[in-house]
Amino acid sequence: MSIVHNKVQLVDIEPRNHDQRLDNFLLSRLKGVPKSRIYKLLRSGQVRVNKGRKKPNYRLQEGDQVRIPPVTVIDKPASEAPAYMLEKIHNAIIFEDEQLLVINKPTGIAVHSGSNIAYGVIEILRQLRPDANMLELVHRLDRETSGCLLIAKTRPSLTKLHEIFRSNEAMQKTYRAILMGRWQGGERMIDAPLKKNQLKGGERIVTVDETGKQAKSLFTPLEYFDRATLVEVKLFTGRTHQIRVHAVHEKHPIAGDPKYGDNEFNQALKKQKFKRMFLHAYNLQFKLEKNYNITAPLDEQWQQFSETLK
């Protein structure tokens, strides 16, 4: 690990960065610089666009000139994913065109690197395609969740897809989940507000709370088993851990959920060699320049668990 002291940079914005938020541009440009430091540079006016101050949410325009002051960057060598992981993600690509590609994300793999995660899906994709002009996550899935994960290949498609995801009507998101116990009462809309909290250990947890943000999920039972139920879930909002917390709220936690699930039920699954959370982003429907309807097949372990329940 080495320390690099950058000089003042004057960066001309190219077409691929057109309409990107200023803070996101700096975060990608200054890898290794803490996010808090970048926002401090913006607040203090040390970062300038066309010689003037701009807010973090300013949308860059082609031809803008960004002044980046000298900063201390911790230059860490990138961790390369092993060959088997490259093959796994390559084989998980289920759709691709000029605008985007879709990964059927395997369970247990993070979407991006973090403090204790050397690499995620996006880093693996960039390692697979070093010559790609752009590969950016459109949204995120929990590490334990499998299924449809969208990756933008152009700046305009990323901007438009972000707008679509913010509009609950423009993006139809359908999940599959296996819940503990037999679901009672048929199809049900869960309209329970969610609030993020923080545990003493620093772990993030979400709870149903009247002071939280509105969250709506439609649960539809598809198949009943003696001790579990397969359900389809349609999201009408996109809150953190929404399906997982709504399932617990209905007293039917998701099978294998390590954070919100039933410990005794999960231990029984592990004894049967089932070591995943049974939540899957099954289908995405939206319109970009054309209509997209993308389904991610369920994996082999999911199929095996279903057969065991039968």
- Mark residue 252 as left, alpha or beta (left: phi above 0; alpha: psi -120 to 50; beta: remaining): beta
Number of residues assigned to the chain: 310
- Percentages of the chain per state (helix, strand, coil), in multiples of 5: 25, 30, 45
- Cβ atoms 88, 103 nearer than 8 A: no
- Cβ atoms 151, 177 nearer than 8 A: no
Going by their DSSP bridges, the two strands 291-295 and 279-287 should be labelled as: antiparallel
- Number of alpha carbons in the 13 Å side-chain half-sphere of residue 262: 19
Q: Is 17 helix (H, G, I), strand (E, B) or coil?
A: helix
Specify the long-range contacts of residues 301-308, CB closer than 8 Å, at least 24 apart. 301/107, 301/274, 301/276, 302/146, 302/178, 302/276, 302/278, 304/274, 305/178, 305/255, 305/269, 305/274, 305/278, 306/178, 306/223, 306/230, 308/272, 308/274
- Cβ atoms 179, 229 nearer than 8 A: yes
Is 142 an active-site residue? yes
Which of 23, 64, 142, 257 is an active site residue?
A: 142
Provide the β-strand partners of residue 114: 117
Catalytic positions: 142
